[in-house]
A and B are shown apart, each in its own frame.
Chain A
Amino acid sequence: MIRDITLGQYYPGDSWVHRLDARTKIIATLLYLIELFVVNNFYGFIIAAVALFVVIGISKVPLKFIFRGLSAVFLIIAFTFLLNMFMVDGTVLWQWKFLKITQEGLSRAFFMAIRLVLIIIGSSIMTLTTKPVELTDGLEKLLSPFSKIGLPSHEIALMMTIALRFIPTLMEETDKIIKAQQARGADFESGNLFQRAKSLIPILVPLFVSSFRIAQDLALAMEARCYHGGKGRTRMNEIRFDRGDAVAAVMMVLFLAAIIASRFIKL
């Protein structure tokens, strides 16, 4: 079912990872993602994967839960893999007409697929262990220095909160509209590109109308609950750095050093 997609979902818990300041986790995740692009050989990935699984272990989020999120984007991973496998020139291992697999292509395909998997798991660890509100609060705090130069940090954070809240609602709505139009004999699969695009109108129009209705309802509900921007707002859970965050910072530095070192490992 559509509501079971784990990407961007929270897995309630009270582990060390859960308790970290959201800002620590956002920065760590960003660093981790950047480091994945610094990696230039498989040893780097081994270090990155080990580090990731250590974090997952500490977080006590079941592996099954994480892989379920991965299965939702399996198609993208497979596509990346195939694209790289067939597109890279080099020593030919297998050929059929214009399709050929090269040693370099194969190695590159694995490389890219592993990177993608690590990116997805790495970022889902952040969302799985951080409540959406903490995540957006953390983001708001991180961005707040920029509000002096006109960046609406509170509004950005609120938009994210609402987006996370309403993604499942809109997915269910879409599912319902698609089925309702299918029940009236709508066909979304056959025809050329133009016909297919046109067949989306019966979905897009009601979806647009629904989104508008949701937005209107929500705006009223927020106003009724005294929402008037970020000014004077307090938080139930004030986020703050503590010793755990310091430990995390040290771990991140060690990890960064290990990744950079891995670039120089040669076979």
Chain B
Amino acid sequence: MKLLLAILCLSISSAYAQYPDGKEILKKIDQNLSSDNRIFTSKMIIHGRRTSRTIESKTWTAGEKKSFTEYLFPAREQGTKMLKLDDQLWIYSPSTDRTIQIAGHMLRQSVMGSDLSYEDLMEDNRLLNHYNAVVTGAENVAGRPCWVVKLTAFDPNMAYQGLKLWVDKERNIPLKEEMYAKSGTLLKRSELSNVENINGRWYPKKIVFKDMLKDGEGTEFIIGNIQFNAAIPEYVFSKANLKK
């Protein structure tokens, strides 16, 4: 099966010989977006049916499996912390002084009414580790020339088995992403903007997510400060840290 896929990829890539290699592009994207670890503050604006609301948080991540988030705003959420290790998620709420374990199925639920699931939000998957990629064309997005890259997951556990990225030719970051179901139905679309150069890497500081099957205005995700490859002590990703 893998061989077949490889042959298929090869034959397609030879057909698009004038385009760069998909894997190379993924590698470059990962170099920009992924890191061994990172610390960032973010603001999420959720457009609900009735009101829009903003949630601010600070997140520490290391690798693909560990993530720790502390909520800063609104006041009600302040001090709430989340720890994700592999498939397990714990939430600490300061008002109740409780550490609550969230079962696996909850990871797939929307975060606070947004168009993002906990999985979407807390996972930092290197594309190269899960997807094959083929460049299928070139288009402009927001006035910038982009490669259109089609990604197909070889890892059956990926939530989105198909991705389509519009990758900035010069800066090697996606400016638009589409997430597809296995059968090819478009599920979500995100638009990435406010690209900044941080310590030599390009990073989009604003992402707008939209669930394409559902009516609604989508969710904005805006990154404030971001630090790559900082020294994060191991205790950050421990349950003891939740109560601190």
Does B associate with A? no
Residue numbers of B with Cβ under 8 A of A are: none
Residue numbers of A with Cβ under 8 A of B are: none
